[in-house]
């Protein structure tokens, strides 16, 4: 994110703002973008910045980097926030940039939280970016693949900013204590830093704000930063989780994949992340229904029964008790044998339909609700399986041209192997069982 800026004074300005750097040499982190010979360093040195989207978690220096890059290339910098700006404000900035009114030549247009712009608002940027009237720098905490329209993405480079490392956060604390105009006047000792780091969640701005809160809580004398001091000031820190954002997709993906990997420990951990983040428990229960069928299927059919019961119970009970029901179901699904044979069966069948088109249903399987259909042979020759002594007629059910094609291949687990044995006893070698 940043290193200290000693020129900023005033205790009314937050520590994170006082520590905001002004040049790349003082910028902390993101060496893959701004380090020696890195892409943005080269672009800034050459004075030819492309339009770009800076994608990364909060507090890693997206806004700071945009300002530094604008200063580095000597272009005017205009900032809009997607929270309180709309198409009108965007067009006003573009008009001024185009006419050279408030700007001289090409300008940087920085839009913070660009993911909050609607499609029409993002559309309003296309012409200006395409014509080169502005160089757009958009900042987002959300995956641009989901939140930025394709036409705008195609006109921008996507650069991913990473969480600051533990070492970088520690460096930032040291710099704040030694260099900040306010903190440097105090006797501050870091006794413990675990709670401070947990409270930050990798967000340098949040970490500096918490550090400042601890210092301000002791008006005079030495300041000893301990885990207890941090906890008393901020209480329990909620896990970083945005139900509509990137964390939502990442954590639910890890959750389902942990169930699929038969790891109940990881699965319950990600369940807790979602619950602590305020996720809708019915959304979690719906995903368990899908997993029970897609990943377990007939290897343990009871899994779908339990998942269905869990969904119904969660609807009736609500939180906080629903967390127990979800945990029980998650552990059961993760501990169950796995099979995706049913999932593959419908996938194979859909591919077959797409490849072969509307093959005619065999006449003997067709319904004959009218006398004309009956005269045309609809239903003729159909064998009612229950009339057979064995309950099996061996009649052909597939359309002409794909007879004997195997679509369902039982999984390699005891229950489905038993199903394979049964199907082979009926169909012999027809379907390759």
Out of 160, 192, 214, a domain closes at 160
CATH number where 329 lies: 1.20.272.10
* Tokens (6 digits) for 262: 């038969």
DSSP secondary structure string for all residues of 73-124: HT--EEEEETTT--HHHHHHHHHHHHHTSSSSSSEEEEEETGGGS-HHHHHH
Query: Do 353 and 282 reside in the same domain of the chain?
Result: no
- State the pLDDT confidence band at 241, using cuts at 50, 70 and 90: low
Contacts of 292 (CB under 8 A, 6+ apart): 303, 304, 306, 307, 308, 333
Exposed/middle/buried for residue 331 (C-beta within 10 Å: 0-12, 13-18, 19+): middle
Output the CA torsion 329→331→332→334 (10° steps). Answer: 120
Query: Do 133 and 80 reside in the same domain of the chain?
Result: yes
What is the share, in percent, of the chain residues with pLDDT greater than 70?
A: 93
For residue 20, is it within any domain? no
Cα–Cα distance for residue pair 399/180, rounded to 1 Å: 79
User: How many domains is the chain built from?
Assistant: 4
CATH number where 171 lies: 1.10.8.60
Q: Characterise 299 by phi-psi region: left (phi > 0), alpha (psi -120 to 50), beta (else).
A: alpha
Neighbours of 132 (CB within 10 A): 10
For residue 7, is it within any domain? no
Question: What sign has the CA pseudo-torsion 283, 288, 294, 297?
Answer: negative
Query: Do 138 and 173 reside in the same domain of the chain?
Result: no
Query: Do 369 and 422 reside in the same domain of the chain?
Result: yes
Cα–Cα distance for residue pair 135/77, rounded to 1 Å: 10
pLDDT digits (tens, 9 = 90+) for 310-338: 999 998 887 888 899 999 999 999 999 99
pLDDT, position 57 = 83
pLDDT digits (tens, 9 = 90+) for 153-174: 999 999 999 888 888 888 999 9
Q: Contact, 3 vs 26, CB < 8 A?
A: yes
Q: Contact, 15 vs 183, CB < 8 A?
A: yes
The residue to which tokens 């990600």 are assigned: 270
- State the pLDDT confidence band at 245, using cuts at 50, 70 and 90: low
Q: Contact, 187 vs 223, CB < 8 A?
A: yes
Cα–Cα distance for residue pair 267/253, rounded to 1 Å: 10
Output the CA torsion 144→150→153→159 (10° steps). Answer: 30
Query: Do 282 and 250 reside in the same domain of the chain?
Result: yes
* Tokens (6 digits) for 72: 């580095």
For residue 83, is it within any domain? yes
* Tokens (6 digits) for 298: 């007939």
What is the share, in percent, of the chain residues with pLDDT greater than 90?
A: 28
Q: Contact, 288 vs 310, CB < 8 A?
A: yes
Q: Contact, 197 vs 207, CB < 8 A?
A: yes
pLDDT, position 219 = 85
The mean pLDDT value for 209-233 works out to 87
Contacts of 351 (CB under 8 A, 6+ apart): none
Angle at 216 between CA 211 and CA 218, to 5 degrees: 110
Domain that holds residue 173: 166-234
pLDDT digits (tens, 9 = 90+) for 64-122: 999 999 999 888 888 888 877 777 888 887 877 776 644 444 788 999 888 888 888 88
Cα–Cα distance for residue pair 98/125, rounded to 1 Å: 13
Q: Contact, 135 vs 49, CB < 8 A?
A: yes
Query: Do 58 and 123 reside in the same domain of the chain?
Result: yes
pLDDT, position 243 = 53
For residue 25, is it within any domain? no
Helices (H) and strands (E) in the chain, counts: 20, 7
Neighbours of 150 (CB within 10 A): 9
Cα–Cα distance for residue pair 399/390, rounded to 1 Å: 24
Q: Is the pTM of the predicted complex or chain greater than 0.75? A: no
């Amino acid at each position: 994110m940043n290193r200290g800026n000693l020129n900023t004074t005033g205790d009314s300005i937050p520590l994170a703002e006082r520590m905001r750097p002004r040049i790349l040499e003082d910028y902390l982190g993101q060496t893959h973008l701004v380090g020696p010979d890195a892409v943005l360093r080269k672009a800034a040195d050459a004075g030819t910045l492309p339009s770009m989207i800076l994608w990364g978690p909060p507090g890693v220096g997206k806004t700071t980097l945009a300002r530094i890059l604008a200063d580095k290339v000597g272009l005017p910098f205009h900032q809009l926030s997607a929270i309180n700006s709309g198409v009108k404000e965007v067009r006003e900035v573009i008009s001024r940039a185009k006419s050279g009114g408030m700007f001289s030549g090409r300008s940087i247009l920085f839009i913070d939280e660009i993911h909050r712009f609607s499609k029409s608002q993002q559309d309003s940027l296309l012409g200006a970016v395409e014509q080169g009237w502005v160089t757009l720098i958009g900042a987002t905490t959300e995956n641009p693949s989901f939140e930025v329209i394709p036409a705008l993405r195609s006109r921008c480079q996507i650069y991913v900013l990473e969480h600051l490392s533990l070492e970088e956060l520690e460096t930032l604390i040291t710099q704040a204590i030694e260099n900040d105009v306010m903190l440097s006047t105090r006797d501050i000792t870091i006794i413990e830093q675990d709670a401070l780091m947990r409270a930050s969640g990798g967000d340098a701005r949040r970490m500096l704000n918490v550090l400042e809160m601890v210092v301000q809580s002791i008006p005079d004398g030495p300041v000893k930063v301990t885990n207890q001091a941090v906890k008393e000031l901020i209480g329990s820190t909620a896990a970083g989780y945005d139900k509509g954002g990137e964390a939502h997709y990442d954590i639910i993906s890890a959750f389902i994949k942990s169930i699929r990997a038969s790891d109940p420990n990881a699965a319950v951990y990600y369940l807790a992340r979602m619950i602590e983040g305020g996720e809708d428990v019915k959304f979690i229960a719906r995903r368990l229904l899908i997993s029970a069928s897609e990943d377990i299927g007939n290897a343990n059919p009871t899994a779908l029964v339990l998942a269905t019961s869990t969904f119904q119970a969660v609807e009736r009970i609500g939180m906080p008790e629903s967390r127990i029901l979800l945990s029980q179901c998650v552990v059961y699904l993760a501990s169950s044998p796995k099979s995706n044979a049913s999932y593959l069966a419908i996938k194979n069948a859909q591919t077959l339909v797409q490849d072969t088109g509307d093959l005619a249903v065999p006449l003997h399987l067709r319904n004959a609700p009218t006398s004309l259909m009956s005269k045309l042979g609809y239903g003729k020759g159909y064998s009612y399986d229950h009339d057979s002594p064995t309950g099996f007629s061996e009649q052909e059910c597939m359309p002409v041209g794909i007879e004997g094609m195997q679509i369902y291949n039982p999984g390699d687990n005891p229950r489905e192997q038993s199903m394979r044995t049964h199907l082979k006893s009926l169909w012999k070698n027809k379907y390759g069982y």
